[in-house]
Amino acid sequence: MALLLLTTGTIFLMWLGEQIDEYGIGNGISLIIMAGIVARMPNAGIYIFQNFSWRSTQAENQIDTTKLLLLVAMFIGIVAGAILITQGQRRIPIQQAKQTRGRRVYGGQRHYLPLRVNHGGVMPIIFASSMLIFPGLIISAVYSYWPNSFWAFMQSAFQGGGYLYIVLEVLAIYFFAYFWTTVSFRPKEMANNLRDYGSFIPGLRPGKRTADYLEKVMVRITYVGAGFLAVIAIIPTLVASWLSIPFMVSAFLGGTGLLIVVSVALDLVQRVEASLIMRNYPGFLGGDGPIRGARS
């Protein structure tokens, strides 16, 4: 019965997402996921309101003014950083070759090839967290049959806030970030397309030199993007243990939920902006051009 209910609910959500794609503004499945994450935010707000105290207190789950200000400041800063890294690009200058036809000269324009800093999006965190579930389950099963100090230490280390768990999660995020970039980013194909369209990177020959340069740049910016993902992934655990607050409150300070909400919200705003411009409206927020997020 449980499997039947889960399968039926999943199929219904997939159908609902397709209806949003067809009759709405698109990206229906992502909107449903974002709605499910945002729906948990009132519970965190209710918990903060019920356990808030204006005076400084040493209670374990009590939230005083200092903790509240720290939570608000960290939330604003982390959301701003997530937006910055999600929209961040490394723009490679591209020069188009000039072509002379009769008395007219075509081409010669200069444009940019954008490379995303966070090319893998939220997928490296999802893969890393999913992979680290299995060692904890195996160690717990072994400890239930052979209880001793070593397996007890391993069980505590592979729990959510354990030191070894955090180190392995960071390493796994770096590995899957480079793995996802290697699978999805094709520098040779991109270099060949530039050569076929008569474009080149100034100072580099079309072909292998261009492909090697693009791969080198992508490796460097992936290192920065993976570092950001690792920080985002471990922030909820560190904040929960540091401020002695439940994980349901600190979960909105990082992790996959925050990245999904930020990326889907930015994509939704850009889709609304494009729809308004297509219908000759001045823009989503007024003015003469698109909003700042769509331009970056």
Q: pLDDT tens digit string along 111-164?
A: 888 888 888 888 888 888 888 888 878 888 888 888 777 778 777 777 766 778
Residue 58: φ, ψ to 5°:
-100, 10
Both structure tokens of 277: 């411009």
Q: Residues near 282 by Cβ (< 8 Å), separated by ≥ 6?
A: 276, 288
- Burial readout 131-159 (b: 16 or more C-beta within 10 A, e: otherwise): ebeeebeebeeebeeeeeeebeebbebbe
Is the pLDDT reported for residue 2 higher than 70? yes
Instruction: Give residue 174's pLDDT.
Output: 92
For range 178-183, the mean pLDDT: 88
Give helix 208-243 / helix 65-87 axis angle, nearest 10°: 170
Average pLDDT over the chain, rounded to whole? 81
CB 110 within 8 A of CB 95: yes
Specify the pLDDT at position 106.
Answer: 62
Q: Give the pLDDT confidence of 83-114 residue by residue, as tens digits.
A: 888 888 888 888 877 666 666 766 667 788 88
Long-range contacts of 243-247 (CB under 8 A, 24+ apart): 243/67, 243/70, 243/71, 244/60, 244/61, 245/61, 245/63, 245/67, 245/71, 246/47, 246/61, 247/160
Range among 53-57, 75-79, 107-111, 163-167 rated most confident? 75-79
Give pLDDT, residue 6.
92
Measured in whole angstroms, the distance separating CA 97 from the mean position of its chain's CA atoms is 36
Grade residue 166 by pLDDT with cuts at 50, 70 and 90: confident
What backbone phi and psi angles, to 5 degrees, belong to 98? -85, 140
pLDDT score at 289: 52
Q: Which residue has the higher pLDDT, 98 or 251?
A: 251
Over range 242-254, report the average pLDDT.
80
Of 19-28, 67-76, 86-95, the one with minimum mean pLDDT is 19-28
Query: Which pLDDT does position 281 carry in this prediction?
Result: 59
Q: For residue 222, give the H/E element and its range.
A: helix 208-243
pLDDT confidence band for 294 (50 / 70 / 90): very low
Q: Which of 186, 176, 198, 89 is nearest to 132 (CA)?
A: 176
pLDDT of residue 236: 85
196 has pLDDT over 60: yes
Q: Residue 295's pLDDT is what?
A: 45
Helix axes 65-87, 255-278, angle to 10 degrees: 50
- pLDDT over 80 (residue 58): no
**Count of Cβ atoms closer than 10 Å to residue 67 Cβ:** 20
Mean pLDDT of 54-64: 67
Residue 285 binned pLDDT confidence (cut-offs 50, 70, 90): low
Range scoring the smallest mean pLDDT among 220-234, 235-249, 278-292? 278-292
Q: Is the pLDDT of residue 292 over 60?
A: no
202 close to 93: Cβ distance less than 8 angstroms: yes
Answer yes or no: is pLDDT of 81 > 80.
yes
